[in-house]
Amino acid sequence: MSKLVTIYGGSGFVGRYITRRMAKEGWRVRVAVRRPNEAIHVKPYGVPGQVEPVFCNIRDEMSVAMVMQGADAVVNCVGVLNEVGKNTFGTIHCEGADRIARIASQQGVSSLVHISAIGADADGPSDYAKTKAAGEAAVLQSFPGAVILRPSVIFGTEDGFFNRFAGMTRLSPILPIAAGSTNFQPVFVDDVAKAAAKAALGLAEGGIYELGGPEVKSFHTLMAQMLQVIHRRRLILSLPRPAAWLVAFGFDMLQAASFQLIENKVLTRDQLRSLKADNVVSEGAKGFGDLGITPVTVGSVLPDYLWKFRPSGQYDEMTSSARNLRNGA
């Protein structure tokens, strides 16, 4: 365990999988997070002392530099979907990414991996897309050999996508969604972690890689597939754009009126603008194939963690079998 990697945001949804991968490779892992006491779950990913959560705020120069000292590789997983307090798109996606890349270059770090997102575009429809693109540009300017990974919507046990909508089915016979015709190319979180680990290990050429799963499906189709997995019948209602905008505006105003004590975790106006464009891999872009990784399908993973949303949870298959036997009798 002679080599050290610092993973900013290493206890989050994507970060924890990268942390596990790097620990399995025998590296010491420094998990840089704002609340180390809430990141204790990463410690068992390695042997005692191999994985250590440490305090870091990527908005602070000294904080970033201190946790990077002695690191051979750096991975930046920090990102936000909604602006709350000082954690704005600009401070996190642009300034934070630039700070990490600049200090990594100054400290002579060998490999830098930056997690961005498909749709990053300086001329994109949303602030999220524009700041992601600005962050990428800043990273490449300070660290030209960096590997930038742009995943599509990411799914996995702790995801905020399928889990969120599956949870909504417990509350209503109607499942409302916005931009149901928008296409996604869902990618499994551990496939993204494999790509990040390869890059951190120096096994990938520098540049931008767009990561999408083997299937392209519309938002509506993904929700229908999710309903099949959780054995529930719900009416999927794709809201007209004006109605979706009113919902997003209402929750944005609620967040503002509560002085951000109530965070908008439903739908923001910026997220709605992002949904104007398909979230799929661009033609000709480097991707999993260039990294020697074969991504898995949505259908092969969803049943492993969405079973808890079935009417009878883990016993739903047993209940269905018993019902079929009674009907057959």
Residue percentage of the chain with pLDDT more than 70? 95
Which tens digits make up the pLDDT trace of 10-53? Answer: 999 999 999 999 999 999 999 999 999 999 999 999 999 999 99
**Which residues lie below 8 Å from residue 144, measured CB to CB, with a gap of 6+?**
206
pLDDT band at 313 (very low <50, low <70, confident <90, very high): confident
Give the mean pLDDT of the chain: 95
Which tens digits make up the pLDDT trace of 164-196? Answer: 999 999 999 999 999 999 999 999 999 999 999
Rounded to whole angstroms, what are the CA distances from 252 to 60, 83, 296? Answer: 28, 10, 35
pTM above 0.85, yes or no: yes
Collect contacts of 233-240 with beta carbons under 8 A, ≥24 apart.
Answer: 234/169, 234/172, 234/173, 234/174, 234/175, 235/173, 235/174, 235/175, 236/175, 236/177, 236/180, 237/174, 237/175, 237/176, 237/177, 238/177, 238/178, 238/179, 238/180, 238/181, 239/176, 239/177, 239/178
pLDDT for the residue numbered 129 = 97
pLDDT for the residue numbered 324 = 59
Residue percentage of the chain with pLDDT more than 90? 94
The answer, yes or no, to whether residue 203 has pLDDT greater than 80, is yes
Query: Mean pLDDT over residues 140-157, rounded?
Result: 98
Exposure of 150 in the CB half-sphere (CA atoms within 13 A): 21
pLDDT for the residue numbered 112 = 98
